[in-house]
Amino acid sequence: MFALLIFIVLLAAAPLAIYFVKTAGAFARLGADPSVERTLQAAVDRAPSSGEQQAAALSLKRFRQIEVLRETIVRQAVLVSAVYFTAVLLVALTIGYLFISRITRPLKELTRATQQLAADDLDVKLPEKAGGEIGALMHSFNAMAHNLSAARQEKMLAERKATWQRVARVIAHEIKNPLTPIKLSTERMYEKFLSQSKDFPAVIKSTVDTVLNEINTLQRLVDTFHKYAKFPDPVLRPEPVNEVIESVCSLFSFSHAPIIRNFAPDLPLIKMDKGQVREVLSNLIKNAAEAIAETGRSGEIAVSSVRDGAMVRIRVADNGCGIAPENLEKLFQPYFTTKKGGNGIGLALAERIISLHGGGISCQSRAGEGTTFDISLPC
Amino acid sequence: MNFILALLAAAKSIGMAAGIVTAGKSDVIIVQPRIIIAPREIRLSCVLSNAWPADLKKLARTGTDIILYLIIETRRNPGNTVVGRVTVERRLQYDAVARSYIVISNPPADTADFGALDSALIASVTFDNVPAMPKASLDAGAEYSFVIYGVLGTTKVEALDNSGIDLMYFWNYRRPMAETERFRGSVLKEGKAASR
């Protein structure tokens, strides 16, 4: 921008400079005829009177002064013009630079703010000092950022509300399931009691078994929710990551889905809570096996590890039923599940564990083709 | 004509600014400053070298008056206070009728004719036995030094409607300056001769 300004100023000034130099050159070449000096000197010498002699001498003096001063004046004119031209050029460039800066600085701030906004920083706010169109643009940007922030807040509230509704629905459903057999068994026992039935003692035993069984189910449900709500911070220790993965893989042996291992050698020790990471991997491998089973055919689970810059990536991939696109973004939300009998805790817990390790977990899936989970852990 | 005068004025401003920036670096130099202790006064002799650049010489040849001043300041130490100042004027003229150059000095009032320009130029920048300070004004217990400046004056130019131009332009607005060493007042008062 500034180079363009220099070019424009030079382009505008060049014709003037060329014109001036040519004019000065022409002026410098304006010389009187040397014979005039001789004539004037002769006039001085031959003047008939003292008065005329003095007048001729003055003319001669003037003629000679013009000859001398002409060169001096032209030289000075060029010098003064050059200095003046340079000064004007510098002033013009300085003013131009300041003017351009006045425009470009807010635009740079706007670019930076837009990048921040794109990076999900909705608290960005631009100073609204500039006037005119730039000021209006800044104001509009701030209004947009504010609206986005408000919309984000509303969305978060809505999501939280939806999550709580889903939690309530899951809990209600999970509690309702054991309550039905309890209720039916109790009613049956009461009928047997009223009818003085002979198999009443057997029914009592059966009812108590059912009730205790369902209470255990309820207890497990409560434990699971409690586990997520009160999850302990990981205790990080350097661990050989491949050994941790292998220790999990060796726990599973699926007839319909063999586990294919592909571990990168010489991986560095990773700081992790081994127990928590094993829980994550167990969950992913179990999910993969269930996804393959749902297809009704055999498949395979690929578990791999690889160094990726400052991270180690662990991948668990299957060629099972896959996940519907609309469910992908809710996958790590707590209490979200598409599985019959699932409680929606497993992946939410996995995401939380990996996040506490300073890493990340992502999922790519195509319905009917399979799913790939990538876990990144810092080296 | 006004345009030309404006240009000269602008050139003068630039020259003065340049002179301030490069003060003390004059092409014109004062050589051979000599202190002469006369019976009643301290005298000084010196020569201005390179005082006639080509353009100034050309101007002198036109018959334009060239006015040159030599200023001698007597400074008393300690304090470096100026206790005396003497200005000598030299005026170079050309008589087109007589075809001779005239050098007018003041003080002392004196006029000298020269047939050749070069002789006139040499005479105009040679200063001999210029009275700088009466001995009676000297304090035997103090120290004295002499600072010498050369300055060109303003002259009128007939071709520019008798406008005055500052001849210092030809010296790039830089005054040549020289300072003698310090002498005890007693030495100046009683000594036969001290020179530098």
**pLDDT digit string (tens) for A335-346?**
777 777 677 778
Residue A272 CA to residue A239 CA, distance in Å, equals: 7
What is the rounded end-to-end Cα distance, in angstroms, of chain A?
Answer: 45
Nearest CA in chain A to B158: A62
SS3 state of residue A210: helix
B170, amino acid identity? F
Min Cα–Cα distance to chain B from A78, Å:
10
Full-model pTM: 0.50
Asked if A57 lies within 8 A of B55 by C-beta distance, the reply is no
pLDDT at A70: 80
| pLDDT tens digits along A20-73 | 777 777 776 766 567 888 888 888 888 888 888 889 999 888 888 888 888 777
Q: How many CB atoms lie within 10 A of CB A194?
A: 8
Asked if B157 lies within 8 A of A57 by C-beta distance, the reply is no
Domain boundaries, chain B: 26-190
Decide if B4 touches A, using CB distance below 8 A: yes
Decide if B29 touches A, using CB distance below 8 A: no
Asked if B8 lies within 8 A of A76 by C-beta distance, the reply is yes
Asked if B62 lies within 8 A of A67 by C-beta distance, the reply is yes
Nearest CA in chain A to B162: A62
User: Which residues, 6 or more positions from B121, have their beta carbon under 8 angstroms from its beta carbon?
Assistant: B51, B52, B57, B60, B92
DSSP tag of A233: P
Min Cα–Cα distance to chain B from A47, Å:
10
Q: How many CB atoms lie within 10 A of CB A146?
A: 13
DSSP tag of A257: S
Strand A301-308 relative to strand A259-263: parallel, antiparallel, unpaired? parallel
Min Cα–Cα distance to chain B from A62, Å:
5
pLDDT at B12: 53
User: Which residues, 6 or more positions from A125, have their beta carbon under 8 angstroms from its beta carbon?
Assistant: A113, A142, A145
Structure tokens at B35: 């202190």
Which residues of B are less than 8 Å from A46 in CB distance?
A: none
Which residues of B are less than 8 Å from A76 in CB distance?
A: 7-8, 10-11
Residue written as token pair 């345009």? B3
Asked if B11 lies within 8 A of A57 by C-beta distance, the reply is no
SS3 state of residue A186: helix
Higher pLDDT among residues B16 and A280, named by residue: A280
DSSP per position, A302-371:
EEEEEEETTEEEEEEEE-SS---HHHHTTTTSTT---STT--S-HHHHHHHHHHHTT-EEEEEEETTTEE
What number is the average pLDDT over the span A306-325?
92
Residue A313 CA to residue A379 CA, distance in Å, equals: 10
Q: With a cut of 60, say whether residue A266 has pLDDT above it.
A: yes
Asked if A54 lies within 8 A of B159 by C-beta distance, the reply is no
Q: For chain A, state the CA radius of gyration.
A: 46
Q: How many CB atoms lie within 10 A of CB A265?
A: 7
Residue B150 CA to residue B132 CA, distance in Å, equals: 15
Decide if B58 touches A, using CB distance below 8 A: yes
Q: How many CB atoms lie within 10 A of CB B171?
A: 23
Helix (H) or strand (E) holding A87: helix A50-118
Contact by Cβ (8 Å): A209, A194? no
Higher pLDDT among residues B178 and A229, named by residue: B178
Q: What angle, 0 to 180 degrees and rounded to 10, lies between the N-to-C axes of helices A50-118 and A132-194?
A: 0
Max intra-chain CA distance, chain A: 175
Alpha helices, DSSP H, located in B63-126: 117-124
- State how far Cα A49 lies from the chain centre: 101
Which residues of A are less than 8 Å from B94 in CB distance?
A: 61
Among A311, A316, A310, which residue's Cα sits nearest to residue A280?
A316
Alpha helices, DSSP H, located in B35-170: 54-62, 117-124
Decide if A44 touches B, using CB distance below 8 A: yes
SS3 state of residue A73: helix
Residue A261 CA to residue A244 CA, distance in Å, equals: 13
pLDDT at B196: 43
Domains of chain A: 2-118 (no CATH), 158-229 (1.10.287), 237-378 (3.30.565.10)
Decide if B97 touches A, using CB distance below 8 A: yes
Residue B152 CA to residue B54 CA, distance in Å, equals: 15
Q: With a cut of 80, say whether residue A208 has pLDDT above it.
A: yes
**Binned average pLDDT, 10 residues per bin, chain B of 196 residues:** 49 49 64 89 94 91 94 90 94 90 90 93 94 90 93 91 90 91 88 50
Residue A84 CA to residue A120 CA, distance in Å, equals: 53
Cα dist. A154→A117, A150, A159, A180, A328 in Å?
A: 17, 6, 8, 38, 22
ipTM over 0.95: no
Decide if B1 touches A, using CB distance below 8 A: no
Structure tokens at A374: 């990538």
Which residues of B are less than 8 Å from A73 in CB distance?
A: 4, 7-8
The partner residue sitting opposite B61, judged by closest CB among A53, A57, A64, is: A64
Contact by Cβ (8 Å): A64, A38? no
Q: With a cut of 60, say whether residue A155 has pLDDT above it.
A: yes
